[in-house]
Amino acid sequence: MIYYPQMSPVVITLVSDGTRCLLARQSSFPKGMYSALAGFCDVGETLEEAVRREVAEEVGLEVESLSYSASQHWPFPNSSLMIGCHATVGPGQTEIHVNSQELEAAGWFSLEEVATALRRKGPPAREQDGATPFWVPPKMAVAHQLIREWVQKQSSSSNLA
């Protein structure tokens, strides 16, 4: 007998408004960790449709354009294929409406904030005021790759200006 394990496609999308990127967190994430938006593809739905639907459902934004970046097998909690994309929203279309059933928080982050978070090696120590600085998923995660790509693109375009 040949066994073909099921694999569920998941879109994971880093949203940008051109100068900032949108990161979000679920309550199940480790304290202080923010990541890209993600959600399962519905049956019969294209990746592009799934990205647009997930972004609209989770933060109330309308995707203007999107591009594919990379994919990654992700065994947790079930076998998933993570399909990484970059999406942009229009400059005047940046007001976030967080779906509290899906996310604990979401916000726009500057190049400097995100570059600083990328330099952190895992969960940071608490600061003196007790706050936990925000950090991003580890290098093995496709979300980390999306965030790193965005920082590199922003850094190179700001050097051209």
Short-list 120, 111, 121, CA closest to 147: 111
Are 89 and 61 in contact by the 8 Å Cβ rule? The answer is yes
Q: Read off the pLDDT of residues 13-72 as tens digits, 9 standing for 90 and up.
A: 999 999 999 999 999 998 899 999 999 999 999 999 999 999 999 999 999 999 999 999
- Predicted TM-score (pTM) of this structure: 0.90
Contacts 24+ apart (CB under 8 A), 133-137: 133/32, 134/23, 134/32, 134/33, 134/34, 134/109, 135/32, 135/33, 135/34, 136/23, 136/33, 136/34, 136/35, 137/33, 137/35
Mean pLDDT over residues 80-85, rounded?
94
Checking if the pLDDT of 108 tops 70, the result is yes
- Residue range 8-156 forms a domain whose CATH class is alpha beta
Q: Is the distance from CB of 15 to CB of 37 less than 8 angstroms?
A: yes
